[in-house]
Structure 1
């Protein structure tokens, strides 16, 4: 066997997600049709509530208890987000059915895992912090990895090497298998307690008593039979949605959930080696719907800048209702591996980009322009005003041109002006009706100013056109 798998298992996930989304306001449980506890959130576990306990008894022990339904879509979104994160560690990530809240990632081809699993475990703990309960396991087979995770404590796990696996998997308990209660009771009555006990039975007798499935299952656990699974695919439009516990009517109420969605989407994009220039925000409530799009000149990865731009944009165009759901989508994605930064020096171009983004967010993109060079030899036509979202022209004009041009050339007394440099002749412009014929040169004024002047060869006279620094 050359493959190696890590499984991450989330026990009682729906209840944990309810408590997380409601920001720990009260313990949460899910119950079955007989009104007995089926899932418990971490707060409910802390209150001493046990699986199978009647709902009435649970309410007596914990009066603030909240009963919530299953949310398959929310669960799938949570697992999909985790799958995108796990893709940073392996080429294949899948839900390990029949454990619908367990994910498996193939890490055998990852050199970072082969060099040592500590970096992965630290990243895993950081990723899971503040979320639902979780456990992990690592084994040469995906099913074996999830069986190890099932037997671990919350936030912990087990690792078994390829060499040890043949001795370890037969000792795993049958109680961890996804068997019906009737089958589990039958195994217990026959004195079968481990996978090794089940594997020791004659194949024909085992198939006759329990069905052919368990023989195939044992071969999959041992790595003697392939275990193909459908893998998660990266979404075409990365998207995150959050139902707000308290409706948001202003920016302070919206800032934290928006920051959370941006962080989750940014993590997803980073793992996929992507970046986004456009971000679409949708707010939904009982009294209305709001939609706006934030467009950036560069890949937007800085959370504080992201929030600052949205704050300016929403102050200029606010929503007028109580928002109950927030949706954030990353549009216009492209390959991006991050930005190299100078540790000692702040990048001037980056500060300029940030300032332009802030102005556009506050004033609107139609109100902000940049001055761009233009391929024209006539000085007053050698630049253009472009929208700030555009890109300046990359044109290298003549070297001896001042940065400061007067709005209109100013006439000078001819007798006081003497050239202090070579003369540059500029002619042409008949194609747009602004034909010129001038001789430009440097002139040092009496106060020391370095002036750029020209002599008009057609109309006569000397004119001041700009200043050198």
Structure 2
């Protein structure tokens, strides 16, 4: 087995930057007690302005007053960590997020699907860049070794298990990711590398540092199995973006909505499933002046599809149209997306040599876009009724209505493509009868009895008309439709 470790050195900062529209603006995360606020992390623009992690907040304000300051939220870090674990689950069935700031996945079983390690590594990096997370990646025969190598050199790959021990022996003790800060203590004792540590008596190490250090070494070198806490994707999607300011327009909500929908699409791909219904929750917070408290409420925007989908662009178009139809009566301070109905996803069947133009859209996607933009009742299909009278032979049926419940259309001679709403007299000379008559006699049960002889007529200009006359009165034509 070969394990890949993805280290996320700026997870907290990247989790915040994903919700920021202008990533080039100086931004810093702030942590610490109210009396001693310090900078935890800064983006590239803030670093160019002179801000550094560990700097006092007062000094940072004096140095770059225009920088945006955000409080560090450990729960947001945990949500981002879980999201990346779900993303990694797309590439391997063995994924672990048990170490902070790192994702470990078994890679060798995925080579047959994604290609050899260089191709899989390039794919991981492209997707992480698209998601907005800085990263370091390494490959090794054990997960702990991969974690160590990712911290030492980005892109390092070691697939030979026999070379694992000699390579690890050269790792500096302070950079070996030992538990409980044991690396710093050992360095102060004069131990410089893992090789020197392994040459010490194990009994002495156990008495001084405890059994966990010895277990860590055995798992690091592959001497003992490493039981990881493997990630299992949840059975629902629930993600939230805190806006940090009050929003009163639909346009300002599109950027965070797009991020949530893209995350939903990533989550669906990990489950190899789709979504048929989800909720966009607009969170409000209004100050009640008489009580002096902030009242929280929310507005739910329901998004429903006729079939399960997982295409990010389609879901975003539908969500945007549904959101634009909703009224925002109160300022929005947070956006949340919940999806609990996650049925299996069945891709549309395609021919091997598909000649469909590149700009053409499959009917299911076009149907959903039209419903979202025009309304649920604006898109319908035509269903037969079984009534022989042409003006009553069809009805408008819902798209989601079961076609099996409809009466089958009886076999009749061809009908015109263009059927007039009401028959009109056809007063034209030179008409030629192409076919007919077809006798239609019906409607006695609803006091709208009709008795007609229908003919297909050809005009001198070559047009084909569908007209009828009362029995025995051929020539007194009533036009009812035109053939294409």
Interval of TM-score (by shorter of Structure 1 and Structure 2): 0.7 to 0.9
Please give the residue correspondences for 1:27-66 in structure 2 after superposition, counting only pairs within 5 Å: 27-31=27-31, 35=36, 39-43=40-44
Shifted more, 27-36 versus 314-323: the winner is: 27-36
Residues 222 and 437 (structure 1), Cα distance of their counterparts in 2 relative to 1, 3 Å cut: farther
Instruction: State the match for 1:318 in structure 2.
Output: 327
The counterpart of 1:365, out of the listed 354, 376, 396, is 376
* 1:420 match: secondary structure: strand
Q: Shift of the alpha carbon at 1:104?
A: 1.0
For 1:91, the equivalent position in structure 2 comes to 93
Please name the residue that 1:345 is paired with. 357
Distance (Å, rounded) in 2 between the aligned partners of 1:113 and 1:200: 42
Indicate yes or no: 2:195 matched with 1:200.
Answer: no
5-14 or 389-398: bigger deviation: 389-398
With over 3 angstroms needed to count, the CA separation of the structure-2 counterparts of 1:328 and 1:172, relative to structure 1, is same
Output the TM-score relative to the length of structure 2.
0.78
3-state SS of 1:406 partner: strand
Provide the aligned length of Structure 1 versus Structure 2.
458
State the distance in 2 between where 1:50 and 1:353 align.
48
1:280-317: per-residue Cα shift (whole Å, max 9, x none)?
A: 22211223532212334455566666555555544443
2:480 is equivalent to residue 465 of structure 1? yes
Conserved 8 A contact 2:465-2:479: yes
- Take 1:166 and 1:47, find their aligned partners in 2: how far apart are those partners? 44
Q: Deviations over 1:222-266 (max 9, x none)?
A: 223222233333233323321124432223322222222222222
The residue number in structure 2 matching 1:78 is 80
- In the alignment, structure 1 segments of 5+ residues that lack a partner are none
Q: What residue number does 1:386 align with?
A: 397
Hey, what's the Cα distance between the residues in 2 that align with 1:57 and 1:326? 33
What is residue 3 of structure 2 aligned with on the other side?
A: 5
| Matched residue SS, 1:109 | helix
Specify the SS of the correspondent of 1:157: coil
Give the conservation status (yes or no) of the 8 Å contact 1:261–1:328.
yes
In the alignment, the residues of structure 1 paired with residue 40 and residue 6 of structure 2 have an alpha-carbon distance, to the nearest angstrom, of 18
Q: Show the counterpart of 2:111.
A: 111
Q: d(CA) in 2 for partners of 1:119 and 1:134?
A: 17
Compared with structure 1, are the counterparts of its residues 65 and 4 closer, same or farther at alpha carbon in structure 2 (3 Å cutoff)?
A: same
Aligned to 1:146: 147
- Return the alpha-carbon distance in structure 2 between the equivalents of residues 465 and 437 of structure 1: 14
| CA–CA separation in structure 2 for the residues paired with 1:348 and 1:95 | 41
Instruction: Provide the C-alpha distance between the structure 1 equivalents of 2:141 and 2:82, rounded to a whole number of angstroms.
Output: 23
How many angstroms apart in 1 are the aligned matches of 2:457 and 2:414?
13
State the secondary structure of the residue aligned to 1:421.
strand
Correspondence 1:441 to 2:455: yes
SS at match of 1:286: strand
Deviation for aligned residue 1:188: 1.9
Change in Cα spacing, 1:365 to 1:67, as seen in structure 2 (3 Å) is: closer
Matched, 1:401 2:402: no
CA contact (8 A) 1:12 1:39 kept: no
User: What's the counterpart of residue 451 of structure 1?
Assistant: 465
Taking the aligned partners of 2:65 and 2:40, their CA distance within structure 1 comes to 17
The more displaced of 267-276 and 22-31 is: 22-31
- The CA deviation at 1:212 is 0.8
Q: TM-score of the superposition, structure 1-length normalised?
A: 0.81
